[in-house]
Structure 1
């Protein structure tokens, strides 16, 4: 590892807010060992200091561009958007949209953009979805290890949801996926929405081959990077030399899971051609180019049209900062370091017969480990 990278990593470790805090438990006062980065990262003092000293003193609403403070705040936020766009491998045909509440917000945003949801109470009252012929319904393929963010929004849509099982190696079963794609070949809209990595075992999906398979069968390739984004390279588009059909159509990201990421919005990276909805999902302030007493015209720029109302401005700027920090450390350095850590942990814990590590231990995985503890013939409760 380069000395400069090692120094930056040490700065990050020293900058974790609460790194020296202790809690009193059954064994007395103990320094906190935070082992829940899969759920959320922790704040960094130098990022919060930058926001307090450089961003907040110039803060203004991004809808106000007639003042110096409004212009500066807008530039901060658009710089954050550009940073995320670049680090995710976005191109001219890709759009970054800030979406409120993590990957859940990003997925729900896209469900609504695609007009795949009928309000449940209206549907119950008037039976609206019953008028959609079965053969005309969209179909969404999801994987064996989706978290609620990438399952419930599809269940509550007008689409049929098909679950693809895992194969013998703990990966998404490509054979089963291909079979189900053939079975649903006549559907007007086919979507594969899969996790780039399991947030239980950490096992990494082959996003390239699955995206290519989906596109070969006329399906869209959506990827939930909530668990994976802090630890691995995010590539929206296939690089030179790789089949362009392996590119992705949408990414769902939870920046709050990054180190430094608390108080950041969700991020949707999506192909511009999918943003054809006539009315924004949240019509209101910031979504229009013209309003009169009788009519109005919405913005043509989909990013701003889909960010109605005063946005989470500081939160979006913070998201850009944590993406920039990840890029400064370097994805290769992060992957190597995390792989070394997780392999050491697995090697040590595997020696204990009372610890059962879940998932294929030989598969490519993130530094996420789930395990259960045996006691005689029983498994201890997780809150024991």
Structure 2
């Protein structure tokens, strides 16, 4: 992969921040956008901005074709069997909430179990907390190994005949752990449970085949994979989605409205009430084209090389603690001795280096790690080893700034 050629397609990267060339190491929070996506959004608003599925005029037809064309691109991108299984949402959070509110409320009851892990993002914890309270179900946590991985033995012990839903992130946004979701799905299905995979940190970085994973539901966001904010995807097996009730009601998702009753459109539109996120879907389609042309396998290999290099260099710094397994996705979460992560991130920002600091929407995991917060450097297809060298230099500067107390 020609990283320089890739970087040339991201206008935002070619700027200075606080007098230094920008080093953007926060792609796990949101990725930057290539010119192809920016131009596609501009093309939509300049050329065929219109509502979809309703008008028969030229602009409406063009918008509908592009919107549904983007759905087909998503279908191919995740290897779904049908576009009926691809629902556009506002993002991963909305997708998970949709499953919890529709499937969860209908299929959970007193004594049933929902199994998640301590590493989950809040978006894959709070919906299940709420639906468990409403239905009388039990929220159950699968234990983690000391390095922040999941053992299949623990999965087999945690998932029981009472388990109705297993909801696990594919890749941890804190630890970088790549979870064995395919094998866990097999265990879940052996007990008659359904498997939801939070793919927010995997879909942008590796090839996804939902049929091979045998995921019943798979959720991800566009803004983490070079697409616009405000657009995401819920994949669901047709056999499940057909029996699920919509959670939003209004225009677009109805078939027929009578005085006191209504019927719904077929999949996927029954879950897309109101004017959909048209520009976002079109932009997501352009992002998928961009990533597919580069190649997800090459992107994954590049990021893992960066993660390995970053760990190697950062471990040379006295007082450095790195969290998570050695084999990981493209991010490194760490603490530098007595320096608070927010102070560390502020000093790095003064050097033009953008990293994340805080609990990363994973407070239960912070408690498991026995810390209040961490810093995180996350990599994507446009990052380089030279930028990691800048990060290491910035961490040394941070030590000096705080008096080299280590």
Following superposition, the deviation at residue 278 of structure 1 comes to 6.6
Mapping 1:237-316, distance limit 5 Å: 237-238=211-212, 247-259=214-226, 261-277=227-243, 279-293=245-259, 295-299=261-265, 301-316=266-281
- 8 Å CA contact retained: 2:37, 2:283: yes
Following superposition, the deviation at residue 280 of structure 1 comes to 2.3
Considering only aligned residues, what root-mean-square deviation do their CA atoms show, in Å? 2.2
1:339 aligns to 2:298 (yes or no)? no
Alignment deviations for residues 106-147 of structure 1 (CA, whole Å, 9 cap, x no partner): 101111221528xxxxxxxxxxxxxx9633xx3211013101
Q: Which residue of 2 aligns with 1:193?
A: 167
1:15 aligns to 2:9 (yes or no)? yes
1:75 aligns to 2:65 (yes or no)? yes
Distance 1:90 1:307 in 2: 18
Q: Please report the TM-score for the alignment, with normalisation by the length of structure 1.
A: 0.82
1:163 aligns to 2:152 (yes or no)? no
Q: Which residue of 2 aligns with 1:212?
A: 186
- 8 Å CA contact retained: 1:164, 1:173: no
Following superposition, the deviation at residue 263 of structure 1 comes to 2.3
Distance 1:195 1:133 in 2: 24
Q: Please report the TM-score for the alignment, with normalisation by the length of structure 2.
A: 0.78
Measured at CA, do residues 99 and 54 of structure 1 come closer, stay the same or move farther in structure 2, by a change above 3 Å? closer
Q: Which residue of 2 aligns with 1:114?
A: 103
Unaligned runs of at least 5 residues, structure 1: 118-131, 239-245
Distance 2:309 2:294 in 1: 22
1:381 aligns to 2:381 (yes or no)? no
Distance 2:34 2:148 in 1: 35
Alignment deviations for residues 330-377 of structure 1 (CA, whole Å, 9 cap, x no partner): 11111111111111111111122322111122x2x1111011112xxx
Following superposition, the deviation at residue 177 of structure 1 comes to 2.3
Following superposition, the deviation at residue 176 of structure 1 comes to 2.5
Q: Which residue of 1 aligns with 2:159?
A: 181
- 8 Å CA contact retained: 2:83, 2:268: no
Distance 2:58 2:102 in 1: 33
SS in 2 for 1:356: strand
Measured at CA, do residues 328 and 139 of structure 1 come closer, stay the same or move farther in structure 2, by a change above 3 Å? same
Measured at CA, do residues 349 and 152 of structure 1 come closer, stay the same or move farther in structure 2, by a change above 3 Å? same
Higher relative contact order (CA 8 A, sep 6+): 2
SS in 2 for 1:204: coil
